[in-house]
Structure 1
């Protein structure tokens, strides 16, 4: 029986070699049984804007690098890549499950020159996350796209951008809020966003009542307006998500002006949860845990000042 056994083993090994040669994506176990290939990892593409403010403010690259690192460490199903500025390589968005934009907005928003190509990605079910100033685009075509892609946006002469201490004493039950505890943080929290009519398909994530002090500035494109003053004392949404009919998902958060907010465990967890959810990766039962960045790490990749 030994010669027969030896031939059988040789035959199985030869079969494995042939399968590997002609089907490189396949794997063959040591017993010769064909095994399904490991599922490809989903890609999250981070796009960081340039430098525009003082030290510790609008640190887009530093924030993206920090979030991308922790997301990759915590969620094995995700691969992350950070681009400084809009990607110029043709395959930058290949196999992307989600795009994260963290950069200046308004008339300088990076996406304005790429609305149609971005819409093509959205139609394929790719998710979109916009952080802080990246939620502001001009009213009209860009604004309408944002209403579809993420459910809302900052509209000038409608929304406002005060710096204030927001207290989120209760959070809705959602994958994005998993493991996030009520928290308070001082930041430039935009509010009175322009949302889809009747909040159709939009789920509020961070909601609180802004203090009267946030409306002390004179009227202006970002400072105040009759519409927001008419809603003084009412709850406002500072973060939200949307599930689109095409299967894609979106998330917007208005905080993130100051780089220091990424050292807040609850803020960091909420945003990491959101990115994972938008990419359709599983959010762990306790939310995405990540190590608090050290002062040394917080000082990495900052804008030169």
Structure 2
């Protein structure tokens, strides 16, 4: 069960977000003059991970803070616990969505209206992003529909992951706008790797080979016998953009400027926004990074 204090804080944040829900149901006739809309989808603690890990809702709230001063951009943070029946309506009015949820691929396919809404967003050229366990599924069945939207998936009974006490992912395609101002740093992290990826071959929708996939690797860790890609982006055939990052197991890693910059810039990139050559500023306070104490 979610600790009482966390329930109160999550509930308060949801009420604050609800005050901004009007755009989700407003007349959308003039998409050229209204601000861009970014939906940040989180959940409360999933009960299977220790506090300070898999802090989904705290993570999307922090991302919203990083983006709050962006001109012509509206962000809304929503909690997708339960049925999330408002989800399709919210997605219908969004230009991009970043998800930080438990078993994201399973969650995506758990409701046909939800999956259809994400597909519709993609068809409109919308942005899609996923963080940590939102890139994954324990079962294999949700992998194919997920990679068609997000590009890659940590999924199936053969999925692989490892916790590292000190590892510095290598920047791949370092000239990519998402990586501007991002520096290699050593972190304590749990990464998912050996990912299933969307394939160039329509007859074989999922591949384990990076060379057979149209996605662009961004970060990689050393592995002996499998793809070590842990972050990627994808300019989809529907003119939309997707990204994924399998890190962020530990909430504490938000303290790293390069982590914050990488994730914020990835979200902005899916919205087809220009990224400063020196990197997007991502200042935070200790209060921004803090978590409610478990009670």
If the length of structure 2 is used for normalisation, what is the TM-score?
0.76
Number of residue pairs the alignment of both structures matches: 244
SS in 2 for 1:92: helix
Shift in Å, 1:186: 1.2
Flag structure 2 segments of 5+ consecutive residues without an equivalent: 1-30, 200-210
- Give the conservation status (yes or no) of the 8 Å contact 1:136–1:154: yes
Query: Which of 31, 40, 51 lines up with 2:45 in the alignment?
Result: 51
For each residue in 1:260-287, what CA deviation from the matched residue of structure 2 results, as whole angstroms up to 9, or x when unmatched? 1111101110011100001112212222
Q: CA deviation at 1:51?
A: 0.7
Change in 2 beyond 3 A, CA 1:250/1:238: same
| Deviation by residue 1:190-246 (Cα, 9 ceiling, x = unmatched) | 111011234432000001204xxxxxxxxxxxxxxxxxxxxx256510000111111
Larger radius of gyration: 1
Residues 106 and 48 from structure 1, CA distance in 2 versus in 1: closer, same or farther, beyond 3 angstroms? closer
- 1:56 Cα offset (Å): 0.5
Q: CA RMSD in A?
A: 2.3
Per-residue displacement from partner, 1:146-191 (whole Å, max 9, x unpaired)? 2211211012233212111331244421011011112221111111
| Runs of 4+ residues deviating >6 angstroms | none
Counterpart in 2 of 1:115? Answer: 115
1:81-160 alignment runs, 5 A limit: 81-85=76-80, 87-89=84-86, 91-105=89-103, 109=107, 112-113=110-111, 114-137=114-137, 138-140=139-141, 142-160=142-160
- What is the Cα deviation at residue 130 of structure 1? 0.6
Instruction: State which drifts further: 274-283 or 164-173.
Output: 164-173
* Residue 97 of structure 1: how far off its partner (Å): 1.5
Change (3 A) 1:196 1:272: same
Structure 1 unaligned blocks of 5 or more? 1-36, 211-231
